[in-house]
Amino acid sequence: MVPLLSSPSPFGEGAALGLIGAVAAVAGVLLPPGELLFGHYRVVPAEAAFKKYAEWGKQYKSDVLYFQTFGSRWIVLNSLKAAIDLLEKRGSNYADRPRFVMFEEMGWAPTLTWLRWGSKYQLHRRVLQPPFSKSRIGQYTDLQRREALIFCQGMINDSDNWPNAVRRCSVAIVLKIAYGLDVEGPESKWIGIAEDSADAIGKAGAPGSSILDLFPLTRYLPAWLPCMERLRYAHTWRSAIETITNLPFEASLNQMASNLDRRFFTHNRVAIHTEAAQQGVETEFDLEDIKGAAATVLIAGNDTTAATVMLLVLYLMQNPEVQQKAQAEVDRVVGRDRLPTCDDLPSLPYTRLVLNETYRMNPLSPLGIPHATVADDVYEGMFIPKGTTVYPNVWAMMHDENVYAEPHRFWPERYLPRGEGGNEEPLPVGNFGFGRRICIGRNLAENSLLIVLATMLATVDIGWPLGPDGKEQKFEPQWSFKGQATVVPFPTRINSRSEKAKKLLDVEVDAVTRKTF
Site of interaction with ligand HEM (CB under 6 A): 112-113, 125, 128, 132, 174, 296-297, 300-301, 304-305, 308, 364-365, 368-369, 371, 431-434, 437-441, 444-445
Q: Which is nearer to ligand HEM, 158 or 288 (CB)?
A: 288
Task: Sort strands 382-384 and 377-379 into parallel, antiparallel or unpaired.
Answer: antiparallel
Q: Which is nearer to ligand HEM, 431 or 492 (CB)?
A: 431
Q: Which residues contact 267 (CB under 8 A, 6 or more apart)?
A: 180, 252, 256, 260, 261
Task: Sort strands 389-392 and 371-372 into parallel, antiparallel or unpaired.
Answer: antiparallel
Q: Which is nearer to ligand HEM, 141 or 157 (CB)?
A: 141
The answer to whether the beta carbons of residues 271 and 256 sit under 8 Å apart is: yes
Q: Which is nearer to ligand HEM, 446 or 461 (CB)?
A: 446
- Minimal distance, residue 115 CB to ligand HEM, in Å: 7
Rounded Cα–Cα distance for residues 185 and 3 (Å): 59
- Minimal distance, residue 440 CB to ligand HEM, in Å: 5
Q: Which is nearer to ligand HEM, 188 or 484 (CB)?
A: 484
- Minimal distance, residue 103 CB to ligand HEM, in Å: 12
Q: Which is nearer to ligand HEM, 3 or 202 (CB)?
A: 202
- Minimal distance, residue 261 CB to ligand HEM, in Å: 18
- Minimal distance, residue 444 CB to ligand HEM, in Å: 5
- Minimal distance, residue 245 CB to ligand HEM, in Å: 14
The answer to whether the beta carbons of residues 5 and 382 sit under 8 Å apart is: yes
Helix residue ranges per DSSP H, 319-407: 320-334, 349-361, 394-398
Q: Which is nearer to ligand HEM, 174 or 505 (CB)?
A: 174
Q: Which is nearer to ligand HEM, 53 or 432 (CB)?
A: 432
Q: Which residues contact 134 (CB under 8 A, 6 or more apart)?
A: 443
Which H, E and C letters describe 173-239, residue by residue?
HHHHHHHCCCCCCCCCHHHHHHHHHHHHHHCCCCCCCCHHHHCHHHHHCCCCCHHHHHHHHHHHHHH
439 is in an annotated binding site: yes
Distances (CA, A) of 122 to 98, 118, 132, 178, 386: 16, 6, 16, 20, 20
- Minimal distance, residue 292 CB to ligand HEM, in Å: 10
- Minimal distance, residue 24 CB to ligand HEM, in Å: 28
Phi, psi values for residue 382, rounded to 5°: -100, 140
333 burial via Cβ count (<10 Å: 0-12, 13-18, 19+): middle
Can you list the pairs that 327-335 forms with residues at least 24 positions away whose Cβ atoms lie under 8 Å? 327/457, 327/458, 327/497, 329/457, 330/454, 330/457, 330/458, 331/458, 334/454, 334/458
3 burial via Cβ count (<10 Å: 0-12, 13-18, 19+): middle
Extract the annotated binding site for heme: 439
Extract the annotated binding site: 439
